Copies of this chain bind each other. A is one copy, B any other.
């Protein structure tokens, strides 16, 4: 990268101060993603201090017609913040937690707040902001909202969308859209909040939000289960939800190949069961009341005892083949660590084809069967590692084909996406579209929906300067 002298840069330096308009090697740290790779060569990196700064940047960008790509924690997986030759607008300095209101169960935060910092702030009031995933130590609220991030407790708390009450957004021409409502009922015109959430910065730049907080579980009942099939596991899920008042916080599926791969990679780890099972489930139930969480005189956690009762019955009637309940925090941590090794395990081999899809919970069994058939027809020797947030129907598909042939890789992805759609699901679950899923959007998304998205994009960003080229495929990209 070299020092650049685009006319907008002088204006930006005057506005923000030269120190916050980074080019050349100064820009480089902001152009590295979570893997450490420099992933893009922006014209400059901008570091506004507040919403007013963001507004002034957009006024200048609108005037000069220079594209702006908002970025926060740089932990995305779909190239949604690639900004070659464009302005990369980092929200990292908008990092204030403006307010935590325990009685109102509300946090007012800026876009650059790191997810785990909000976790800590909520914890001081015995509350949680439930959204959580592996990248929580660097991912920021702005990115989570812009991609409508998911995670492993969506079954209980919903995606980011469901945790947001209000937004502040800077539009393409610099105007500030004030949707900072903090109420649960607000029917005052079109739902612009949810339009901005998940739009990946293509309709506006989210600068602040009002978020919901929840009571903190006082204890957890966690277990590993083996079931005879994924369908049987879904029955177990529904029974557990009914038995616990919907308190299931995680319901994660791991196939036998996952357990084997895990033991291979971590020889000191323990297998969840003595026997080998095709369908292994990690389940966690949150106990919110002291009645469920406080140990009995015998030292028993009531929520755990209850889970044990329910599982015993299921073992008796054959709904569950095997079960192990975590007896303490160490055993619980071991279960979580096994599940969270998924990202690492999926990257152990090369070449890799991975995908992120979703189906209705009661269709997951069909999805796995159909994928297996189609993928093995393409490549009989292919190895796969399919891990699912079964509680919400989200499958993380990984395959390691022998071939590096791009066409075969594309055919694998196509097969996976087609089967998800055929079962009433989505070809794009929790990671967003960015650039990576543009071909899938062009191929699978309802054509009328794409047209409506384009009409909205034109209406809100007529000069096409907000993260252009992301999310919506160009009309001539249609297959």
Q: Which residues of A contact B (CB under 8 A)?
A: 101-106, 147-148, 150, 154-155, 158-159, 161-162, 171, 175-192, 194-195, 197-199, 203, 214-215, 231, 234-235, 238, 241-247, 286-292, 306, 358-363, 389, 392-394, 424-433, 437, 441, 444-446, 448-453, 455-456, 458-460, 471-472
A175 to B394, CA, bound (A): 30
User: Given A185-B393, A187-B431, list of 7 further CB < 8 A pairs?
Assistant: A101-B362, A185-B392, A186-B358, A189-B445, A190-B456, A195-B195, A291-B306
Asked if B460 and A246 make an inter-chain contact with CB atoms under 8 angstroms apart, the answer reads no
A175 to B452, CA, bound (A): 11
Nearest chain B CB to A131 CB, angstrom units: 13
Indicate which residue in B195, B426, B446 contacts A183 across the interface (CB closer than 8 Å).
Answer: B426
Known contacts: A358-B186, A360-B104, A448-B171. The answer to whether A287 contacts B245 by CB under 8 A is yes
Asked if B459 and A456 make an inter-chain contact with CB atoms under 8 angstroms apart, the answer reads yes
Nearest chain B CB to A123 CB, angstrom units: 15
Residues of B within 8 A of A360 (CB): 101, 104, 106, 182-183
Nearest chain B CB to A250 CB, angstrom units: 14
The 3 closest A-B pairs by CB, nearest first: A194-B194, A104-B362, A245-B288
Residues of B within 8 A of A362 (CB): 101, 103-104, 106
Residues of B within 8 A of A429 (CB): 183, 185-187
A182 to B455, CA, bound (A): 25
Residues of B within 8 A of A235 (CB): 103
Residues of B within 8 A of A361 (CB): 103-105
Indicate which residue in B203, B238, B292 contacts A103 across the interface (CB closer than 8 Å).
Answer: B238
A471 to B362, CA, bound (A): 38
Could you give 13 example pairs across A and B, Cβ below 8 Å?
A101-B360, A106-B360, A147-B187, A159-B185, A177-B449, A185-B392, A190-B195, A190-B203, A190-B453, A191-B194, A191-B197, A245-B287, A455-B459
Most buried by B among A171, A183, A445, A458: A183
Asked if A433 and B185 make an inter-chain contact with CB atoms under 8 angstroms apart, the answer reads no
Indicate which residue in B106, B178, B424, B426 contacts A446 across the interface (CB closer than 8 Å).
Answer: B178
